[in-house]
Amino acid sequence: MGKSETAPNPRTSKKASSAAKAPARPARRPAAARTETPYHHGALREALLEAAERVLERDGLAGLTLRAVAREAGVSHAAPTHHFGDLTGLLSELAAIGFRQFNAAMASACDAATTPLERALARPKAYIAYAQAHPGMYGIMFRTERLDYSRPSLHEAAEASFAGLANAIGMMRQEQISEDALTLNQGAAIARAWSLVHGFTMLLLDGRLEDILERMPEGTTAERLLEAMLTAPLAPNLPV
């Protein structure tokens, strides 16, 4: 070994050798990037609404926040705000979906009916069945103070629901009912039918009909009670 050469340092050589053998560690991604789910822009809006419905049915209206929806969908907290503006916007779009599902369920039930009595009972039965299957969605559909009816999607879906009710009452009365101009009797018939079914639905969802059902013949269901309400005379012993 010449004088100009320097003897290798054993510690340095071992470190270099270990570094050469050790596999390179992958760069650590930020936590947000690991948890977020990539969506196409159009698909993200639908994914957020689906996530909102899951949160609503699982945690109730009190648990439905923009952050909760973002977590459920696996996206950034800013995503719901970008698509819906605020919680009112999100709730309004969710209620619009509820009304569309609601309307479709009742239309399908009416189409499947084969007798006049089945047709008369199909719509209210489907109304209550939807509310039982989707109590969270049903609840926000009628929380007017939390919704923005100026949003076209919600306005159109709610109007379609009213039109379906008016048409059903018109068929029962065997007359054409205009959605924009009602007579007193037509308005009373629509309000009576809606009040009866909506009130029954709310009592059923709140468990307030259990006391009545327990006093009735064994095996009497809420559906059977509804049928009796809808087909019984309004006041059979009322003097004329």
Cβ pair 166, 174 in contact under 8 A: no
pLDDT above 70 for 186: yes
pLDDT, averaged across the chain: 85
Is the confidence at residue 132, as pLDDT, over 60?
yes
pLDDT greater at residue 104 or residue 33: 104
- pLDDT class for 232, splitting at 50, 70, 90? confident
pLDDT tier, 37 (very low <50, low <70, confident <90, very high otherwise): low
Helices (H), the chain: 10-21, 31-35, 41-59, 66-73, 78-84, 87-112, 116-133, 135-141, 152-173, 184-205, 210-215, 222-231
Count the Cβ atoms, other than its own, within 10 Å of residue 69: 27
Q: Which whole number is the average pLDDT over 40-53? A: 86
Q: How far apart are CA 2 and CA 123, in angstroms?
A: 103
pLDDT band at 34 (very low <50, low <70, confident <90, very high): very low
Beta-carbon neighbour count of residue 7 at 10 Å?
6
Q: What is residue 51's predicted lDDT score, i.e. its pLDDT?
A: 97
Per residue in 144-153, pLDDT (tens digit) is 999 999 999 9
pLDDT at 233: 62
What is the C-alpha to C-alpha distance for residues 203 and 171, in angstroms, rounded to an integer? 27
pLDDT by residue (tens digit) across 110-130?
999 999 889 889 999 999 999
As a whole-number percent, the residues of the chain with pLDDT over 70 amount to 79
State in Å, rounded, how far the first CA of the chain is from the last one. 130
* Amino acid occupying residue 19: A
Give the Cα separation of 222 and 164 in Å (integer): 24
Among the ranges given (65-69, 135-139, 143-147, 172-176), the one the predictor scored with the smallest mean pLDDT: 172-176
Instruction: Judge contact between 36 and 75, C-beta under 8 A.
Output: yes
Looking at residue 80, what is its pLDDT? 94
Over 170-235, what HEC string results?
A: HHHHCCCCCCCCCCHHHHHHHHHHHHHHHHHHHHHHCCCCHHHHHHCCCCCCHHHHHHHHHHCCCC
| Residue 236, pLDDT score | 54
| Structure tokens belonging to residue 119 | 């047709």
Distance from C-alpha of 180 to C-alpha of 43, rounded to nearest angstrom? 37
